[in-house]
Every structure is written in C-alpha cells, then in structure tokens.
Structure 1
Amino acid sequence: MKLPALTRLLSAGYRVFFLLAGLFAVISMILWEAWLAVLAAGGLIGWQPFAMAPQMWHAHELVFGYGAAAIAGFLLTAAPNWTGTRAAPVSFFAAASGLWLAGRLAIWWSVGLPALLVAVVDLAFLPVVAAHILILLLKRPKPPQMMILAVIALLWSGNLVMHLGWAGLAGDPRQGARIGMLALAALIVILGGRVTPAFTRNALVQGGRTTGLPRNPKPLAIAAIAPAIAAPLALLAGLPPVGSAGLAGLAGLAALARLVFWRAGATLGQPILWTLHLSYGVNALGLVLVGAAGLGVGSEIAALHVLGIGGIGAMTLSVMSRAALGHSGRALVAPRAVALAYALVPLSALARFAGAAWPEMYFPGVLLAGALWIAVFALYTVALWPVFWGPRATGA
C-alpha cells in the first residue's frame, strides 16, 4: 500500500528527525552567519526576535535544537530494535516533531513571550522522547541502555540551567551550554564507542577477513565512559570547572586509546566507515582540548568548537546518514555528496578553531566555518531527501 508522503515521513524516527536536524543545521547557521556578516562589515543589528544574546541563541540551538533532534531520531529508531518492539505510531512522531518545532519557535520569538512559557515549551521535548524510550527499555532492561537515558537527563538539565539563567533565577546560561555539549560528547563516547568497532568488524568479516579484527577492551571503555559522564555531572553539581575539565581530558585520552584497537586503516576505502573513526577521534580530541583549556592551556572556546563541530557535528552526521540508508533498505554506501560532507566537517572545525585561537582570524575563520557547515548539511539533506520522504528501497 502506497503511503502519502507526509505519513511516510512521520512513520519513523530516522525519517522525520534526521530531516529536521539537517534542515535546522542549515537554517540556524545561515541566520548566525548573517548576524556575523553584519558585524564583520562594521554594522549593528538593533532588534532581534529572541530574548537572549545572539551568541547564546546560537549555542542553545545547536546543542538543544540540532543535537536533540539528532539524538531523538537515533534513539527512536534504535530502541525498537534493541527491545524487539514496533516503532511508535505516526501520531507520536507527529506530536513529538511538532513539540520540537514549537521549542524552536518559542526560542526564536522569546523576546515577546513570557520566559516561563518559553522554558516550558522548549523543555518539554526531551522528556517526551525519554519517557517513550524508557517504556520500551523497561520491557528488556539493560544497564548500558538505561545509562543512555541518564545522559539524556544531563542534556535536559543543561537546557534547564540555560533557561533558569535567562530568567535571572539561578545559574549561568553559559554553564548550561557547557553541560549540554559535554553531555552530547558523552553520548558519542558511549554510542560511538559501540557502533564504530562493531560496524567496522561486520564490514571486514563480510569482506572475508578473519584476523586482525577490531577489539573493544572493556577496561578502556569504562575509562572513557565514566569520566565522560562525570564531566557534565560535575558542572551541574557546581563543582569547580577545573574538575570537570580534568574529567573531560581523561575521557578524551582514554577514547583516543580505544581507537588504536578499532582498525581504522582498514576502512579508508569506505567513507561510511572511516567517518565514524574520524568523528570519534575528533570528539576525543575535543575533550582533551577542553581538559587542557581548563588547566590554562589553549582557548576554551576553540576547544568547545572542535568538540561541537568536529566531534558532535561529524558523528551525528555519520550516524544519521548510515542509519537512514540502512533502515530504508538501501546499501550502506555513502552517496558522493554525503561522502564529501564527511570530509568537509573537519575543515569546518579547523577553521573555527583558527578563528578562536588567533584573534586576527576571528571573522574569516568563523565565517568560513559556518559556510562549510551549511555546505555539509545542505549536501546531506539534498542527497538523502528521497530517503526521508520516499518508500523503502525494497518496496516494503
């Protein structure tokens, strides 16, 4: 039976939320680039529709707008497979995606709305997704999967801290953004640490390889995951920032050590695989740089952007594209446009790092980084548009 296009889009988490993530990554960055371009030209913008500073809008929407959509799409696609249950009905995806969109609109028009209303609308999305995932996981509870929900709670708490700060009630909104970014980085340490060696091993075995396969030593996994989760938790608990930075650095070093065992060199001919290794590595590097910045070595802003663009941005792009292809019945081969997008993300991170590390490079570096980010997600969205809207390749 042929489904209407909108019904098909709302039939799976990978369809609607991966599409929304791609579109929002492009639109939000275009808006940010426009604001920066006016400043670079020496102009000023006298009015804005949102109540927070533009830098805070940018940080919030990339972490809690784009990041939340990408994570929701992944979990709502993966959880039914983990538990052997059916995916949510179309009505759930319609309501959840509408709630996510309402959050974006509430933040954008927040200058004319009560702060409490903006907070309630924006904070409602992740609990709805987490509650649905929890109901599924309770049917077959496993500690590693329940741990993911704990990190989602940390992500949500970072958003709460931002709203409390904006309302003048408690906390610093910048701290909330840090908590959210470190929570997303922790999710990558956890989930990327599972899928990267597993997918690489599967591909090598299918290619006939029987020796030299990826290994994932449990002690190293614990050494990376435990401090990665503890870092945002320490910030949330109000501990000195140097402690959280130190935990992030330890997590990054352990995550880099894990990569040694995953046989990245065997994936160089397959973009859909090497992008996982590269993204995981840059996420780990970002955590190390955050740790160094906490000790007074290097720029924290530069470190956070390496983490946000090259780690979180690249890994979500990698996982979204792979999951969309696989779950739609297509071959796990990245289209050329998507493979190009994989390669452009690290360049965007490098440009943004330069803009933060060297003051004279600020506007050129930031504007180039934003332009590359827009190109990345435009390539991804256009190339996978038929995947999100169209039928499965098998005709099912």
Structure 2
Amino acid sequence: MAIPRTPPGAYPAVLSYGFRPFFLLGSLYAGAAILFWLPLFYGQITTSSVFLPVDWHVHEMLFGYLAAIMTGFLLTAIPNWTGRLPVQGLPLLALVLLWLAGRLAVFFSADTGWLVGAAVDCAFLLAVAAAAATEIIAGRNWRNLKVLLPVAVLLAANVMFHAEAHYQGISDISRRLGLGAAVVLIMIIGGRVVPSFTRNWLARENQGRLPSPFSHFDAATIALSATALAAWAFFPESNVTGAMLIAGAVLNAMRLARWAGDRTLREPLVLILHVAFVFVPIGFLLAGLAVVLPGTVPSAAGIHAFSVGAVACMTLAVMTRATLGHTGRELQASIGTCAVFVAIVLAAVLRIGAAFVPTDAILLHISAMFWVVAFLGYAALFGGMLVQPKLRARQPNKAPS
C-alpha cells in the first residue's frame, strides 16, 4: 500500500522515518557501550549510576540499545501494516530525545536519585508502546496488536529492573524477563520476515523448494517457547523449566528447518537472517542444559546465545536490509556489509565460548572487539544513508519536443 509523505524539506531526512535516527543512534551506542563496558568491568573507570557495573551493562544492552532498534523497526513497519503516515518530524524527535534522556538518567542516577532515573528511563518504552498502539488501533490493524505484548513485557521488565536493583542491590528476574521478551519478539517478527524474504528471493533467483507457510505448528512453537521463557524468568532452577526450554530448542530448530535456509547461501542479506535465528534454538538448548545440568553448562552461555547471538545478529540483519530498502538502494550486500555480518556472528560464538572459560579473558576481549567492529562498522557504512534523503528512482530520458 502506498503511504503518503509530507512535503520535502518539512524537516531533516533523518526525522522522516523511525528507522533513521534509532538505527544510527542505536548502533553507535551499542559499539560505544561495549568499549566503555570492559574498563568499567575491571574497575578502571566508573559511572555515576546506582546500578552495579554488570547491571549497567545488562540494562543498557536490553533497554538502551535493543529498545532503540526495536522502536526504529516498529515505527517503520507499522505504516506498512496500517497504511497510515509514519511517526515523523517533531513527534519522532520527541521520542529520540526521550531515549537520549533515558541513557543520561541511568548513567547519572546516583546524582538524581534512583526513582527519577527510573521514571525518565521507563518513560521511553511507555511512549513507544502508546505510539505503536495508537497507530495500530487507528489503522484498525487488529491482528498486529499482539506485537505490542512483548513490548509491554519489556517495559514491565525495565520497571522491575530498577526496583530490583534498588531494593535487592542487583537485578535478577528482570534480566531474564527482558531478554525473554526480546526473544519472543524475534520469534514473532523473525518468523515473518525470515520466511517472507527467503520466499521472495528464492522465487526470483533459485526456484524450487520454498519456506513453509505459517501454520499451527509455528503458533504452538511460539506459545510453548514464550511459556518456557516466562518460567525461566521466574523459576530458573526448576527442572520443569529446563525441560520446557529444551523442548523450545527442538521446536524452534524444526521451525527454522522449514524455511529453506540451506538454499540461500548465495545471498548474504537472506542467509544472515537464518544464521541469526539459529541462535534462538541454541539459546534455548544452552539455557535448558544449564538448568538440568547445573555446574556443567554455565547459565551465561544461554544468556549470551540469546543476546549476542539471536538479538544482535537479527537486529543487525534487519537494520541492514531496512536501511538499504527504505533509502532507495539495491538490496545487495557489499564486502563491508558481509564483514559486519561475519564480525557479529564471531562475536556471538566467542562470547558463548567465553562463558565456558570464565577464568580466561581472551575470548571475552576478542568477542568485544568483533562486537564493536560490527556495530561501528554498520554506523560507518550506513550512517550517511540514514541522514540523507531517499534516493529517487531514475526517470527515463524524455525525447526532445
């Protein structure tokens, strides 16, 4: 459906669509936050936050970086679902400034007080949920209201994160709840875009077996997996939770196998979507084994399979494709783009490996290096596209009159 646009020049190009400011700021923040994190972890620098260093790291990855990318994606996808104008101009600028205010509020919460920091920080996700719900309801696009459930859970997890950190001294349930909400969002949205983009490319370039359409099996897999993640958040030591997580691993692996990813090896922009989703069943499996085999599989392995693997790889894959498509470029992966994909996958694999050898920091440091290369590499490659107007299609030369 064609979506009307406001007149050119009404505001800067970077405020014409949600993906532009949030993908740019989110990628810069992801890279900068990890550069800051390791010296913070080793006590070489400090923050003015009420959070412990590890809590600051976890919080800013979930509710800083991920929240920004999720917002950019939703504000770009919702107009396509509803046929309405995108959130742009001053309303979009207000959301961007609120996100920035949240980052500052968390960093300086020891000076402002934990409650002020929490209120400013949580206001962003509340505003995003309200904006998304308003647009979906106004467009009468009822079937996509379910996408708001993981957003609402992420907001609730953020509120709980601040409360736990204040009253208990460290976050616990809220970490897993927020990460679980992110994984559910990937299972829902990824379950749409991965087979859809795969089908489109295969139909055009490699005719033959196509991804299976969404079915009751997919719905059941998402339902069971979401239940397992909820149990993991609140009952992380229960053997029932472990069994459910392992079942989620099997079902998500079967779901991925139905999407014909093995036929996309020639197209990096499609292949990376499948590679990113691979970390979903890996995360479920490692998280489940950590429950049923305590002391053998570290809990950090599953956490980082979900976070550095599924979340980071999928967000970079979607960011890259959306940036190219929505700025009028060809959907082709350059050498630099492929390098970004390789870097983030290596970061994920090495970070999972580092969980098994916590006494040796070399894997952790190399993983962090690849993470920074991936996100700052994205910003370097695509930043110009995000702040410049969309390329116009070339018009055929008119014959002289």
Is 1:285 the equivalent of 2:282? yes
Tell me if the contact between 1:335 and 1:383 (Cα under 8 Å) persists in the aligned partners.
Answer: no
Tell me if the contact between 1:161 and 1:171 (Cα under 8 Å) persists in the aligned partners.
Answer: no
Q: Deviations over 1:50-95 (max 9, x none)?
A: 1111011001100111110111000000001001111113111100
> What's the CA shift for 1:193?
0.9
Q: Deviations over 1:176-234 (max 9, x none)?
A: 1111111101111111111101101011112262x311113513212321123224444
Tell me if the contact between 1:9 and 1:388 (Cα under 8 Å) persists in the aligned partners.
Answer: yes
Q: 1:98 to 1:46 in 2, by over 3 A?
A: closer
Matches within 5 A, 1:314-353: 314-353=313-352
1:367 paired residue number: 365
Coordinate RMSD, CA, aligned: 2.1
> What's the CA shift for 1:235?
5.5
> What's the CA shift for 1:330?
1.1
Q: 1:171 to 1:256 in 2, by over 3 A?
A: farther
Shifted more, 141-150 versus 302-311: the winner is 141-150
Is 1:259 the equivalent of 2:263? no
Question: Separation in 2 of the partners of 1:257 and 1:144?
Answer: 25
Question: Separation in 1 of the partners of 2:107 and 2:98?
Answer: 14
> What's the CA shift for 1:152?
0.8
2:312 paired residue number: 313
Q: 1:118 to 1:322 in 2, by over 3 A?
A: same
**What is the DSSP-based 3-state SS (H/G/I as helix, E as strand, rest coil) of the residue aligned with 1:52?**
coil
1:198 equivalent among 191, 196, 199: 196
Q: Deviations over 1:273-305 (max 9, x none)?
A: 000000011122112211221222511111101
1:215 paired residue number: 212
Is 1:274 the equivalent of 2:271? yes
| Residue type of the alignment partner of 1:28 | A
**What is the DSSP-based 3-state SS (H/G/I as helix, E as strand, rest coil) of the residue aligned with 1:360?**
coil
> What's the CA shift for 1:156?
1.1
Q: 1:89 to 1:350 in 2, by over 3 A?
A: closer
Q: Which runs of 4+ in 1 moved over 6 A?
A: none
> What's the CA shift for 1:239?
4.4
| Residue type of the alignment partner of 2:155 | W
**What is the DSSP-based 3-state SS (H/G/I as helix, E as strand, rest coil) of the residue aligned with 2:389?**
coil
Taking structure 2 as the reference length, what is the TM-score of the superposition? 0.90
1:29 equivalent among 19, 29, 34: 34
> What's the CA shift for 1:167?
2.1
2:135 paired residue number: 136
| Residue type of the alignment partner of 2:172 | R
Question: Separation in 2 of the partners of 1:395 and 1:50?
Answer: 48
2:83 paired residue number: 84
- Structure 1, unmatched stretches of 5+, are none
2:354 paired residue number: 355
> What's the CA shift for 1:245?
4.5
Question: Separation in 2 of the partners of 1:126 and 1:233?
Answer: 20
Question: Separation in 1 of the partners of 2:292 and 2:252?
Answer: 20
**Identity, % of aligned positions:** 31
| Residue type of the alignment partner of 1:216 | P
2:97 paired residue number: 98
2:224 paired residue number: 227
Tell me if the contact between 1:241 and 1:294 (Cα under 8 Å) persists in the aligned partners.
Answer: yes
| Residue type of the alignment partner of 2:18 | G
Q: 1:89 to 1:250 in 2, by over 3 A?
A: same
Tell me if the contact between 1:201 and 1:213 (Cα under 8 Å) persists in the aligned partners.
Answer: yes
**What is the DSSP-based 3-state SS (H/G/I as helix, E as strand, rest coil) of the residue aligned with 1:89?**
coil
Q: 1:141 to 1:300 in 2, by over 3 A?
A: farther
- Structure 2, unmatched stretches of 5+, are 1-6, 395-401
Question: Separation in 2 of the partners of 1:146 and 1:228?
Answer: 19
**What is the DSSP-based 3-state SS (H/G/I as helix, E as strand, rest coil) of the residue aligned with 1:359?**
coil
| Residue type of the alignment partner of 1:155 | L
**What is the DSSP-based 3-state SS (H/G/I as helix, E as strand, rest coil) of the residue aligned with 2:209?**
coil
Is 1:16 the equivalent of 2:21? yes
> What's the CA shift for 1:366?
1.2
1:377 paired residue number: 375
Question: Separation in 2 of the partners of 1:141 and 1:294?
Answer: 43
Q: 1:370 to 1:208 in 2, by over 3 A?
A: closer
Tell me if the contact between 1:220 and 1:255 (Cα under 8 Å) persists in the aligned partners.
Answer: no
Tell me if the contact between 1:17 and 1:70 (Cα under 8 Å) persists in the aligned partners.
Answer: yes
> What's the CA shift for 1:140?
4.4
| Residue type of the alignment partner of 2:40 | W
1:387 paired residue number: 385
Question: Separation in 2 of the partners of 1:266 and 1:34?
Answer: 43
> What's the CA shift for 1:251?
2.5
> What's the CA shift for 1:317?
0.5
> What's the CA shift for 1:259?
1.5
Count of residues paired in the alignment:
385
| Residue type of the alignment partner of 2:312 | G
Shifted more, 54-63 versus 217-226: the winner is 217-226
> What's the CA shift for 1:31?
0.2
Q: 1:86 to 1:143 in 2, by over 3 A?
A: closer
> What's the CA shift for 1:20?
1.1
Question: Separation in 1 of the partners of 2:235 and 2:351?
Answer: 29
